[in-house]
Chain A
Amino acid sequence: MNTLLQVRELTTRFHTPEGTVFAVNGVSFDLGEGETLAVVGESGCGKSVTMLSIMGLIPKPPGEIPKGEALYIKRDLLKLSDAEMQHIRGKEIAMIFQDPMTSLNPVLSIGRQITESLRTHLGIDQKAANQRAVELLEQVGISEAARRLADFPHQFSGGMRQRVMIAMALACVPNLLIADEPTTALDVTIQAQIIELVIQLREQLGMAMIWITHDLGVVAGLAERVTVMYAGYIVEEASVDDLYDDPRHPYTLALLAALPRVDLRRERRLKSIPGAPPSLLVEPKGCPFAPRCEYVREICRKENPVLTPVAARHKIACWVDINSGDLR
């Protein structure tokens, strides 16, 4: 499998009046062609900022990317000019967002919004673009597509709007689709439909995908590999099976324990993680999870562990081997 995207030591900060926010702190991961990677973690742990940094959509100022690279087919996306990035966004890498209710422009027709990227990137005329838009809408399961091109976003339901967003993102058949919690704002049945649709489109188009979520339940049927993020760090990276069967990082373990399971006794209370994620306003020192960790040791508070392999294709950033309870 060829590598499509190679992110190294990506660091993103925001300079705000309250101080510097250390949003992403040296994140590295690889993504193969056609592969699906899930990025999980609770709110505010840097998942979205990581992806927006790769897309060049971080407003600067207040944002700053002091170091790191994001090699997309040998090109470092972080070093490209705005104009060059514009050609990549939507054409090679597309992104869909969390809330379909606010991600569509309320005053432009659906047709205009879908054809926009076609006309920008492929330079085709409105008529051809409209034709393609009808195909796309049919592809994402919107009936009477031709008639609905002239409709405005408020005439669509939430699930329908997310389908339209997907059609917009896939218009130019990108190599990589970044989905930023695309089902969080939808109810469960619609969620399932959207996930099914995305899986089916991924097979059809053979594109790679990064799926951001804080719902570990969604990940299982969707991704091949998972990275778990905490406070701007990647703390564990594993194949989906390994992550569920053999989690090695205390945070992952805690996340899985907090997940409702249909196969366990109903009286079992869901286990929450004590404490709250650390403030990103202070420069991180030591392991960011240490204050909430059951396995915490002396060294955890002093030095931040780096992401190292524990098994084949399985990496964690932790000083402790949670199976034995000893230091690694």
Chain B
Amino acid sequence: MESTTAAPGSVARLFPDELETPPLSLRQLTWRRFKRHKMAIFGMISLILLGFYSFGGMLLFSEADANFVDTKLILQAPTAKHFFGTDTIGRDILARTIYGGQISIIIGLTAMLVETIIGVVIGALAGYYGGLIDSLLMRFTETVLTIPQIFLLLVMAKYFGGSIPEFELFGRTFSGSVIVIILIIGFTSWPYLARIVRAEFLSLKENEFILAAKAIGTPTSQIIFRHILPNSAAPIIVSATLGVANAITLEAYISFLGLGVRPPTPTWGNMLERAYNYIESAYWLWLFPGLLIALIVLSINFVGDGLRDALDPRSRAI
């Protein structure tokens, strides 16, 4: 007789561990659902490749290459030596898209951080405290929302554009305008997130576990940031992801209009700046940075969509 077979009259001794595989963790579940989203996987792979392109490309081209002006070679169509051609003052476009990509990605990520921090703090305080604080913060949020963001960005970029000097980081020189762009994109993008976070807090704070946490004397700051905030992580993550794409697009906009990141620091956006004079005569000026912007924004949006589905707590899909 096998040892697991119960003798007549006795109770089979089976422990939960023997009966079932351990339950999937939240992370595993999310990954399983994300994997099924084909476009999200495409987006993720494309983002990894773009990351390699922008940061791995440093090994092939130095920053000096990207800023090297060769007046004998202006406006050259793509050749074996310059795959993406050269620009109006003879700089290699391939090298510039590599270094420009770094700046664009860094701006996207840090502007998203600024946006998320402001949005989460304002939304959390408004949603948790309610009443007067909520009214004040939400009216302020709505005020920011009613002013068209592009207009606000242009005014701020014009006004603060040159206020931060150049600085060095990781042995590279950055134009101070990078910081300005990051801050103004962050400062104008947070209202939607603040609203999402507020709505989350409004419903989450009514949960019994919040009352239970208060009943053991948990301080308010902990209730807000340790108990409620992690419960609203899913929409914040999705919104932050899409925020990166949004910030990259906005940077491209303002740089295209000549108010963004100042040359010689390249970004995908400011590479387009003078390209519009050559739309027909020198397609390579705008094609490559334009394609890269489109690709990264599209990929991030796909990943965001995939995350939205994967993190949806109401989704029953396994």
Contact = CB atoms under 8 A, between A and B. Distances in A.
Contacts of B214: 57, 89
Given A107-B231, A108-B230, A116-B222, A97 B208 contact: yes
Contacts of A121: 217
A103 B208 contact: yes
Nearest to A82: B220
A117 B216 contact: yes
Interface stretch (A164-172, A207-215, A255-263, A303-311): A164-172
Nearest to A107: B230
A96 B209 CA distance: 10
A104 B209 CA distance: 5
A193 to B, nearest CB: 18
Contact of A104 (B212, B231, B233): B212
A116 B225 CA distance: 13
Interface string A55-87: 101000100000000000000000000000011
A87 B219 CA distance: 9
A48 to B, nearest CB: 10
Contacts of A86: 217, 219
A303 B231 CA distance: 50
Interface string A157-184: 0000000010011010000000000000
Contacts of B213: 105, 113, 116
Nearest to B207: A102
A13 interface: no
Given A97-B211, A102-B207, A104-B209, A169 B230 contact: no
B215 A120 contact: no
B23 interface: yes
B218 A117 contact: yes
B227 interface: yes
Interface in A120-176: 120-121, 154-155, 165, 168-169, 171
Contacts of A105: 209, 213, 227, 231
B217 A87 contact: yes
B231 A106 contact: yes
Given A105-B227, A107-B230, A168 B216 contact: yes
A106 B207 CA distance: 11
B226 A108 contact: yes
Nearest to B215: A95
Contacts of B208: 97-99, 102-103
The listed residue with most A CB atoms (<10 A of its CB), out of B131, B207, B209, B218, is B209
A305 to B, nearest CB: 34
A107 B227 CA distance: 8
Contacts of A320: none
Given A105-B231, A106-B231, A90 B209 contact: no
B219 A120 contact: yes
A186 interface: no
A81 B298 CA distance: 53
A108 B209 CA distance: 11
A315 interface: no
Contacts of A88: 217
Given A107-B231, A116-B222, A89 B209 contact: no
A113 B212 CA distance: 10
Contacts of B215: 55, 57, 89-90, 94-97, 169
Contacts of B218: 90, 116-117, 120
A248 interface: no
Interface string B123-139: 00000000100000000
A95 B214 CA distance: 10
Interface in B8-67: 23
21 contacts: A55-B215, A57-B214, A87-B217, A90-B215, A90-B216, A95-B212, A97-B208, A97-B212, A102-B209, A105-B213, A107-B233, A108-B227, A108-B230, A113-B213, A117-B216, A120-B222, A121-B217, A165-B212, A169-B215, A169-B216, A171-B216
Interface of A: 55, 57, 61, 86-91, 94-99, 102-108, 113, 116-117, 120-121, 154-155, 165, 168-169, 171
> 9 smallest A-B Cβ distances: which pairs?
A90-B217, A90-B216, A89-B217, A95-B215, A117-B216, A103-B212, A102-B208, A107-B230, A105-B209
